[in-house]
Amino acid sequence: MVINKKKSKDGLIFFTAVALIVGTIIGAGVFGIPYAIAQSGFSIGLIHLIVLGIFVTLMTLYMGEVVLRTKEESQFIGLADRYLGRGGKWLMFISMVIGIFGALTAYLVGIGSSVAHLVGIHPPLIYTLIFFAFAAPIIYYGLESISIIGLILSTLLILILFVIILGLLPEVQMSNLDYVDFSKAMVPYGVILFACLGYSVIPEVEMLLKKQKNKMFLAIIFATFICIGLYALFSFTVVGVYGSSVAEIATQSLSGIKNVFGTIVAILAMATGFLALGLVMKHVFSLDLKIDKRISWIIVCFLPLFVVFFVDPGFVDALAFTGTYAGGLTGILSCFLVYNARKKGKRKPEYVVPGGTFLIVLSALVFIGGIFYQTFHLLGFI
């Protein structure tokens, strides 16, 4: 039997690209999905998962097409500058800032809550401050190995999700899945959108698939299908077992060793996410915007802590706000980017997302609608 080494290597690279996208998408946000879905009811939440899964996949495919239409290697702020001008560049930057600061705030809240749950001593703010005292110096001095730790934890996180799903599946009660509350129908929107975002890794995927760029389309679809499927299964089992009583951080609803192990993994995932995103944001301020290193560090670390102290958002509230505004704005920009890149791009792409202008406009309207709803909800009109 002769083994085709080239095909074997190409297949390994393809699945590495899929794993890279999956690892980027699935993070600590997954722990907030069951609670958000339980508020509206599983059937409504499942609709959100499917619909948003489709449109986030389109967003990611649009970003991929933009990258493929561009000869020079560039990140999305640079691509926005190229195809949308200075205004587009700053909107993309604002989207990134909202996304990162929102995630940093959510992780501070989530870590405090999870540790308090684990040790049984309150208030959670104590543990948020203890974690902050360790994390802030690391962000100041830098620890590049955080990315490697994050990759390991992403793999562990996915394995734990499967273990939880398999462990809870026999306990699912269908009556817990029948509940529906149309007044809270939009609650899952922002949380699911937050948990589905993974577009930022597309330039790295394009470099990885350097000789197989024609497979990027399939890699994106395959990866997002895996993530949405895993989210649906995780929500089905957790909501199916705990119903409307599921905790904001899903692992806190578990019992026995699953509770301890799941909560520890959630804490580690949020801690690693906080450190990784904090380092990214500090570099953006200090290197790209030329802001003093110490001032950059103060902004990155203390602004989320300020929000935790004086706004006191819930874990899911922080995810929902971040997902709606950062994810929504990025989704809208992706539509403008691909529309202009199809006119101005200097390279023939390996794929073109079907659906033409109609699908681009429809995608933008979905993200615009989410932003309007969240804004009216925050202002008390809904």
Is the C-alpha dihedral spanning 321, 327, 328, 330 positive or negative?
A: positive
Residue 287 has pLDDT above 80, yes or no: no
The class of domain 11-378 in CATH terms is mainly alpha
Q: 2 pLDDT exceeds 70?
A: no
Give the pair of three-digit tokens for residue 175: 């009556």
pLDDT score recorded for residue 6? 60
pTM of the predicted structure, to 2 decimals = 0.90
The answer, yes or no, to whether residue 167 has pLDDT greater than 80, is yes
pLDDT at 199 over 70: yes
Burial of 188 (0-12, 13-18, 19+ CB in 10 A): buried
**What local confidence, expressed as pLDDT, does residue 149 receive?**
67
Q: Tens of pLDDT along 289-329?
A: 788 989 999 999 999 999 999 988 889 999 999 999 999 99
pLDDT band at 335 (very low <50, low <70, confident <90, very high): very high
Main-chain phi, psi angles of 348, to 5 degrees: -80, 120
SS3 for the chain, per residue?
CCCCHHHHHHHHHHHHHHHHHHHHHCCHHHHHHHHHHHHHCHHHHHHHHHHHHHHHHHHHHHHHHHHHCCCCCCCHHHHHHHHHHHHHHHHHHHHHHHHHHHHHHHHHHHHHHHHHHHHCCCCHHHHHHHHHHHHHHHHHHCCCCHHHHHHHHHHHHHHHHHHHHHHHHHHCCHHHHCCCCHHHCCHHHHHHHHHHCCHHHHHHHHHHCCCCHHHHHHHHHHHHHHHHHHHHHHHHHHHHHHHHHCCCCHHHHCCHHHHHHHHHHHHHHHHHHHHHHHHHHHHHHHHHCCCCHHHHHHHHHHHHHHHHHHCCCCHHHHHHHHHHHHHHHHHHHHHHHHHHHHHHCCCCCCCCCCCHHHHHHHHHHHHHHHHHHHHHHHCCCC
**pLDDT value for 34:** 95
What pLDDT shows up at residue 129? 95
Q: Which two structure tokens, joined as six digits, stand for 93?
A: 């930057």
| Selection from 196-200, 219-223, 260-264 with the highest mean pLDDT | 219-223
Question: Which pLDDT does position 207 carry in this prediction?
Answer: 85
What per-residue confidence (pLDDT) applies to 148? 65
What percent of the chain clears pLDDT 90, i.e. is strictly above it?
58
- pLDDT tens-digit series, residues 226-284: 999 999 999 999 999 999 899 999 999 988 888 888 888 888 888 888 888 888 888 78
Average pLDDT for the chain: 89
pLDDT at 286: 82
Q: How far is Cα 299 from Cα 45, in angstroms, rounded to an integer?
A: 35
Q: Residue 109 pLDDT > 50, yes or no?
A: yes
Q: Tell me, letter by letter, the H, E, C secondary structure of 312-347.
A: CCCHHHHHHHHHHHHHHHHHHHHHHHHHHHHHHCCC
pLDDT at residue 153 is higher than 80? no
Q: What's the mean pLDDT in 171-186? A: 92
Residue 28 has a pLDDT of: 81
Q: Which of 127-131, 286-290, 303-307 has the lowest mean pLDDT?
A: 286-290
